[in-house]
Amino acid sequence: MALGKERRGEMRPKLIGLAVVVFALLTAWSAFAADEPDLIFRRSTVFKWMSPNDKLATYGLDDPEVEGVACHFTVPEKGGFKGWLGLAEQVSDISLSCRQIAPIRFKAKAKLEQGEDMFSQRRSLFFKKMQIVRGCDAKRNVLVYMVYSDKLIDGSPKNSTSSVPIMPWGAADTAVQKCGEFFK
């Protein structure tokens, strides 16, 4: 009987440690998920009999450094058991559309880099990721967004570009910012 209590006493710190690790992982995951784009909708494209279908998924996200700009992108999502388990390498066909949705205000205290990542997402288990990058066409006062995917060894030339002219937003918005002042 004493041996049982002793073992339980030894197990208690291990269980508490495990609970702390699980809590930390869940907290980190929820913080990571907060940075994920919003799923707008999905449509099946290829029927799979015993596993999830291939789909097209449309997501929306706000530019974290430029207030008043939202982007929507559509990505193919592989179905099947590999897709369901997150092991399938996703194809690089991604479309992108970015628009002004409110007065545009730059949040950055330091200057932004041309071609800097606005968003990136893993597209295979190890080697492939999708990136949305942002730049400024100072001559035309236009924000330019490009989406592409890259691979550790070789990337993909498939890409999509969207432009957002910086315009006044309503009669009260008379101070239109110049993107050239905020980019290196």
Q: pLDDT (tens digit, 9 = 90+) per residue, 153-182?
A: 566 677 889 999 999 988 777 788 899 999
* DSSP label of 157: -
pTM: 0.71
Q: Give the pLDDT band (50/70/90) at residue 25.
A: very low
Beta bridge partners of 146: 133, 161
Query: In this predicted structure, what is the pLDDT of residue 74?
Result: 92
Higher pLDDT pick, 119 / 93:
119
In order of 44, 97, 115, 117, 120, the CA distances from 92 in angstroms are: 17, 16, 19, 17, 13
For the chain, the distance separating the N- and C-terminal CA atoms, rounded to the nearest angstrom, is 72
When pLDDT is cut at 50, 70 and 90, the band that residue 127 belongs to is low
In the chain, where does DSSP find H-type helix?
Answer: 2-34, 80-85
Residue 43's φ and ψ, nearest 5 degrees, are -130, 135
Distances (CA, A) of 84 to 38, 51, 121, 140, 162: 19, 8, 17, 44, 31
Sign of the alpha-carbon torsion through 141, 40, 124, 23: positive
Residue 114 is classified by DSSP as: T
Buried b / exposed e over 171-183, threshold 16 CB at 10 Å, is eeeeeeeebeebb
CA distance 102 to 67: 8
pLDDT at 27: 38
Confidence of residue 54 (pLDDT cuts 50, 70, 90): confident
DSSP conformational letter for 12: H
Residue 159 CB partners (closer than 8 Å, separation 6+): 94, 146, 147, 148
Q: Judge contact between 99 and 70, C-beta under 8 A.
A: yes
